[in-house]
Amino acid sequence: MNHNDAQDLINRLDELLEQERTALLDGDLETIGTLLDAKERLIDALNTLSQDERPEMGAVEAKVIRNQALLDGALQGIRHVAARMAALRRVRRSLETYDAKGTKTTIEGETDYSVEKRA
């Protein structure tokens, strides 16, 4: 592979990383998923290059690290939301309280599955 082809791979990966960053900042998880296959193919193609064929990749490496930090933050946020939703579901089913002696008491919640129609 010549230098121009290798540089083209770098440029395409750079552009894809910018798209991924935008999707991460927008919370567009669907787009992130679609970009993953293309990113893996480009990285695999770059990994097949010898050290002599590889152009300078410092800027791209920095963008990969930046996007990884954004992705880690997004995943952490999703985990927090899932934990919060689970806690809210538990509270709907029952409420746990403690009396003055420290004894735990569970108050079962009522689930109303009826639908009220209004005219």
pTM, two decimal places: 0.67
The verdict on residue 115 lying in a domain is no
Task: For 57-112, write each residue's pLDDT tens digit.
Answer: 888 889 999 999 999 999 999 999 999 999 888 777 777 888 889 999 887 776 66
Q: What is the pLDDT of residues 33-62, one digit of tens each?
A: 899 999 999 989 888 887 777 777 888 889
As for how many domains the chain has, the answer is: 1
Residue 50: inside a domain: yes
Cβ 16 vs Cβ 39: under 8 Å? yes
Please count the other Cβ atoms lying within 10 Å of the Cβ belonging to residue 118: 3
* CB atoms closer than 10 angstroms to residue 63: 18
The reply to whether 33 falls in a domain is yes
Asked if 18 contacts 26 with a C-beta cutoff of 8 angstroms, the reply is: no
Instruction: Supply the range of the domain harboring residue 44.
Output: 3-108
Task: Report if residue 77 sits inside a domain.
Answer: yes
CB 6 within 8 A of CB 53: yes
